[in-house]
A and B are shown apart, each in its own frame.
Chain A
Amino acid sequence: MRGPNPLRVRRMLRKELRQIFRDPRMKRIIFVAPVIQLVVFGYAVNTDIRETPLFVVDHSSTAESRRLVDALTASGYFRVAGQSDRPDALTRALDRGTAIVGIQIPPDYAADLKAGRPAALQVLVDGTNSNTATVAQGNAARIIRGLAEERLRSGGASPPRGVDLRIRAWFNPDLASRVYNVPAVMGVILMLMSLLLTAMTVVREREIGTLEQLMVTPLGTGELILGKTLPVALIAMVQLALITGVAILWFGIPFRGSLPALLIAALIYIVAGLAFGLIISTVARTQQEALMVMFLFFLPAIILSGFMFPVFTMPPVFQWISLANPIRHFLEIVRPVFLKGYGVAELWPSYLWLLAIAGGAMASARLRLGGALR
């Protein structure tokens, strides 16, 4: 086995770039798709629970009860979607989904408060979407508790002793989901691009029969792999720059880490993507098949990556499986690099995992490509 010849690799690379950029579809995929994804995840996908529709049944109708509703809406977490003095109107609103949270204030609410008796309140939450329900419930409880403490303090009494809980969110003080999502979109786009472009360009050659012809020429497997993957890696690096730029300059995502930390992780990660793309190309005979196989791999990989659902909430088996998932490790690097300013020193286990996955996948891609053709 001889080493790759740099000149031949360069020629192959030039031919690949020429082909990619001569295809208007490819140009759109490369430059438009990432921008759309960034916009979607930067703007549309918002997991912050704000403006939750609230239905109010106020039997008390006093200044006290109105203060309570005001406190809820003033926070920005709730907006009044409806009001009635009939409890069944509340039930209907929850049934129809016009409200997610309902609050029922009993007639003697103000009187109880004035008399120093514990006042009862009923909060009903639509639990269909458990995530929204939990967050809304927490918000409501926090606001109501705050109101109660404030009342005690203004009445001269000190709040009950015990734990004084003060929560502060570090690294993302506003708990804005965008700050968390946009760096992760980078991981998704880079993987999608390296998988898609690599698998497609190799399978296309298989479809038109040139792959077999290349095997008759002195072009070695190593040269073929380099010639096919280097242009994709180049494109992925350009996209990395593009996405990082948009994330920092447009979305105002803080970048607290170092550029080398990000670059090293991205390079290893892209190599892993290229290798998986090559493996897909050895399985698929046609471009359609390649596309199908790619999504069969890509979608579970996204779900098991912690992109949308944290890995630690998964059953242990899936947590184990996700260790082989390059997206998971890249996200575990890219988020802290952006938000916490971490680098290789803190995140080395994730870097090692990425390296192992990329190396193993590339070795098996090389073996499969060489074996399938010779």
Chain B
Amino acid sequence: MTGGSVVVEGLTRRFGALTAVRELTFSVAAGELFGLVGPDGAGKTTTLRMLAGVLRPSAGDALLGGRSVAREPDHVRPQIAYMPQRFGLYEDLTVRENLSFYADLYRVPRAERPARLERLYAFSNLGPFQDRLAGKLSGGMKQKLSLSCALIHRPAILLLDEPTFGVDPISRRDLWLILTEMIAEGVTVILSTAYMDEAERCDRVALLNEGLVLALDTPAALRAGLEGAVVAIRAEDARRARDVLRQLSDIRRASLFGETVHAVVAEWVGADSLRRELSAAGVRVLDARRVEPSLEDVFIQRVAGEEAHA
């Protein structure tokens, strides 16, 4: 089924002298969960906005469900949903009125509405709040209502811009339950995220930096592609540990992951030499062990590698 496939060809967007997205090319199969990952300003939002048809590409095109977003927007719109980072709700309308309004715009048949609402309420746990004004909902509930509004017309393709940004953990889990359900039904989901655990859940991930795709693969393949081994070091002064590690010749890269330092070594020879070096520099090491590289390691290496080339 090509219903929900997305083909992006040379998609480019310039804002004056700045090129936000540079000849982006990739394709997403129907029913795939595709992640866009990258630092701020990488072009994630610009890409999603162009796919949603709210921003005209400077060059290139995208086919959503086989229809060109630049030339046939009227055919693209009914089959997609776009949830911007800050989805606007009508705060002076109730939960149900917000949902009905979007159902009206997409001309969802009256007969189908009760069942759809029922299902969305079940997902989102918004049922008991359906007569509450949207402005009176908590942040997480607002986000769930936004997603529900985006899903009311059962789109084949779902475009989500950092859907869980600033959402409490419980609502975040609820949102993912909804997404998982959608994917199980064959909906294509393209989302941008800053959370690596969310990127790990994707079927495939595109690493974006400065409008370019640095890497595009399954999370497992991306991790496997990392050169060297990753050592996680816990020290009393993590910041100093990182600085010391960066001075060592056999360390390719050292970065802070919260309270731990992740160091990339060319070859794994055990943690003892690292401990010794750090102790010599006066840093007390609590723990040091080899870990499986995470997507974040891959991400940092790729982005940093790009900067080293530049």
The residues of A with any CB-CB pair to B shorter than 8 Å are 2, 5, 7-8, 11-12, 15, 18-19, 22-23, 205, 208-219, 373-374
Contact = CB atoms under 8 A, between A and B. Distances in A.
Given A22-B92, A374-B56, A374-B73, A218 B78 contact: yes
What 10 A-B pairs come out closest when comparing CB atoms?
A209-B88, A11-B104, A210-B88, A208-B88, A217-B105, A216-B82, A218-B77, A22-B92, A219-B105, A216-B52
A18 B93 CA distance: 8
Contact of B84 (A5, A11, A213, A217): A213
Contacts, number: 71
B93 A217 contact: no
Nearest to B81: A216
A372 B28 CA distance: 29
A326 to B, nearest CB: 31
Interface of A is mostly: helix
A213 B86 contact: no
B268 to A, nearest CB: 49
A8 B104 contact: yes
Contacts of B56: 374
A212 B86 CA distance: 11
Nearest to A5: B107
A217 B102 contact: yes
A216 B77 contact: yes
A253 to B, nearest CB: 38
A343 to B, nearest CB: 42
Interface string B86-109: 111111110001000110111100
15 contacts: A12-B104, A15-B93, A15-B97, A205-B88, A208-B89, A211-B88, A212-B54, A215-B54, A216-B52, A216-B81, A216-B82, A217-B77, A217-B106, A218-B106, A374-B54
Interface residue tally of chain B, by bracket? 20 to 34
Nearest to B78: A218
B141 interface: no
A373 B101 CA distance: 20
A213 to B, nearest CB: 6
B105 A11 contact: yes
B292 interface: no
A209 B104 contact: no
Nearest to B105: A217
Nearest to A7: B107
Contacts of A15: 90, 93, 97, 101, 104
B80 interface: yes
Interface string B48-90: 0000111010000000000000000110011011101011111
A209 B90 CA distance: 10
Contacts of B90: 15, 19, 208, 210
A229 B4 CA distance: 36
B105 A8 contact: yes
A209 B87 contact: yes
